[in-house]
Amino acid sequence: MRQTIVAGNWKMNGSKEMVNTLILGILQGMPYIESQVIVCVPYPYLSQVESLTTHSQLQVGAQNLNANPFGAFTGEVSANMIKDFGAKYVIIGHSERRTLYGESDTIIAEKVKIALENDLTPLFCIGELLEERKTGKTETVVARQVNAVIDKVGIESFKNIIIAYEPVWAIGTGVTATPQQAQTTHAYIRSLLAQNDVNIAQSVHILYGGSMNPNNAKELIACEDIDGGLIGGASLKSDDFLSICKAG
Ligand code: PEP
């Protein structure tokens, strides 16, 4: 039985005041939640969120890393810096990184490897573009994305990786995949892993992301192969985020 995981992706949103209000709001609801809950926050707020969440069940993550350990990489942040601020998770391969910053499957696989080497759990994002879905390429695309990481780190490493299936056409659009569309792709992703190791395939968490909200979360998370959600917009309001957390 896989415990439900709900992770918030704040993206580039926040201020010191907003972070305080949002985290305190989430913490108030935490005693009533059985899911594992993670918030992935912008780098400058990692320290603030770490302080606010000490002694709580709320876990903290970052949204990206640079694959180098240190050095002349102006503006970048390394895995050990993220760890230094108490984060245990890091989003890798989000579609915004793939499309806006040109991150290839090869770069993403390298980042997954570096995260694992630094004891950070990658929230490894995959998903197809609308055009790819329309032309029947969804499975080919997610297989390419997953296999790039299996080839780099090996199937055993998936014991420490959380997958987030996020159809790109559903991210930030208000258009959610239907439970059936999402379940079909999640089952396919699990079958891909099973070709390498049946037990690992059964234990890996595969989250759904893409306009998940308090109204659709329950039906999506109820699907057999959907183990929770990666939440963008709805993670910025504590009430909405908590009600998604309760849907698990
Ligand atoms: C995301 O950015 O990972 C995401 C799922 O965003 P939203 O929930 O806003 O679609």
Q: Is residue 96 among the annotated active site residues?
A: no
Q: Which two tokens stand for residue 94?
A: 């989000």
> What pLDDT band is residue 248 in, cutting at 50, 70 and 90?
confident
* The one catalytic residue among 103, 166, 186, 205: 166
33 CB-near residues (< 8 Å, 6+ apart):
242, 245, 246, 248
Atom of ligand 1 nearest to the CA of 166: 5
Per-residue pLDDT tens digits for 107-146: 999 999 999 999 999 999 999 999 999 999 999 999 999 9
Per-residue pLDDT tens digits for 181-238: 999 999 999 999 999 999 999 999 999 999 999 999 999 999 999 999 999 999 999 9
Is residue 232 within 6 Å of ligand 1 at its C-beta? yes
Q: Is residue 224 among the annotated active site residues?
A: no
Helix or strand holding residue 190 (H, E): helix 179-194
Q: Whose CA is nearest to atom 4 of ligand 1?
A: 232
Distance 229 CA to ligand 1 centre (A): 9
Q: What is the average per-residue pLDDT within 43-61?
A: 97
Give the pLDDT score at 7: 98
Lookup result for tokens 């984060």? 87
Helix (H, G, I), strand (E, B), or coil: what is residue 175? coil
Distance 233 CA to ligand 1 centre (A): 6
Atom of ligand 1 nearest to the CA of 164: 3
Q: Is the pTM of this model over 0.85?
A: yes
Atom of ligand 1 nearest to the CA of 231: 8
**Residues composing the chain:** 248
Per-residue pLDDT tens digits for 78-100: 999 999 999 999 999 999 999 99
Is residue 212 within 6 Å of ligand 1 at its C-beta? yes
Q: Whose CA is nearest to atom 1 of ligand 1?
A: 232
Give the pLDDT score at 63: 98
Is residue 108 within 6 Å of ligand 1 at its C-beta? no
> What pLDDT band is residue 55 in, cutting at 50, 70 and 90?
very high
Give the pLDDT score at 1: 83
Q: Above 90 in pLDDT, residue 66?
A: yes
Whole-angstrom Cα distance, residue 209 to residue 225?
13
Is residue 229 within 6 Å of ligand 1 at its C-beta? no
Distance 211 CA to ligand 1 centre (A): 6
